[in-house]
Amino acid sequence: MNSLTVVFNALPAILAGSFVTIGNVTASLAMGLVLGVPLAVGQVYGGPWLRRLVALYVWFFRGVPILVLLFLCYGLFISLGLPADPFLICCLVLGCTSTAYQSQIFRGAIESLPQGQLKAARALGMHDFTGIRCIVLPQALRLSIPGWANEFSILLKDSAICYVLGTQDIMARTSFVAARTHEHLALYAAAGLIYFVLTLVVLKLLRRLEDKVHVPGYSTGTGMEGMGAG
């Protein structure tokens, strides 16, 4: 049995694992978006203690390797007697890590906006929360799309390490077939191609979103033209 035959026979199983990978990345990105925006707002507009807490959170999850976090979270679940579902643990760890990175993407976008906009909102009688929600965040989220796209490509590649916990994703299925057939080169090349295609497709979609929400003459001047798969 040659390498192409092995890859062809294993491709349906590996592609089935891509749904697990996509689900993991989607859940992690969504968690990072929902939690990252409030952390960014707190770091920019919050008091000293809140800023320190956010900075500590970001420092921890950006400083500890994902593999270590996966084993820490898995051990914590076991110690507390909770069901140690590999998919859930991977979503939590990648989501917490993505929250740290996304918060800094949004923080940079917020700080790039003219500071007078929130003062103008106050002058119009708006509460700070209303001004941030209705004026600051819509602009900041628009400017964050290139950085958010880069975070997606990084998170997709980081998700490959989740197979160490037994998730049935692309890497886990590829590793299983490779161990049985010993066609490591061809199979891992096929897995790499799947990751590349997923990254390319999503970046193209995000580029269209960026073009759709782009306001002529008002941007950071950094688009996604030079953004590749990494």
pLDDT of residue 1: 56
Of 129 and 165, the one with more pLDDT:
165
User: 26-77: per-residue pLDDT in tens?
Assistant: 999 999 999 999 999 999 888 899 999 999 999 999 999 999 999 999 999 9
Q: Is the pLDDT of residue 119 over 90?
A: no
pTM: predicted TM-score of the whole model, two decimal places: 0.84
In the predicted model, what is the mean pLDDT of residues 173-182? 87
In the predicted model, what is the mean pLDDT of residues 179-186? 86
Task: Determine contact, residues 228/200, Cβ cutoff 8 Å.
Answer: no
pLDDT of residue 46: 86
pLDDT of residue 221: 42
Q: Is the pLDDT of residue 190 over 60?
A: yes
CA distance 129 to 167: 41
pLDDT of residue 222: 42
pLDDT of residue 11: 85
pLDDT of residue 207: 86
Residues with Cβ within 8 Å of 9's Cβ and at least 6 positions away in sequence, in order, are none
Report the percentage of the chain scoring pLDDT > 90.
44
CA distance 89 to 80: 14
Query: Taking all residues of the chain, what is their mean pLDDT, rounded to a whole number?
Result: 85
Residue 183, φ and ψ in degrees, nearest 5: -100, 60
| Sequence-ordered alpha helix ranges (H) in 46-115 | 48-63, 66-79, 86-111
In the predicted model, what is the mean pLDDT of residues 91-106? 94
How far, in whole angstroms, is CA 181 from its chain's centroid? Answer: 33
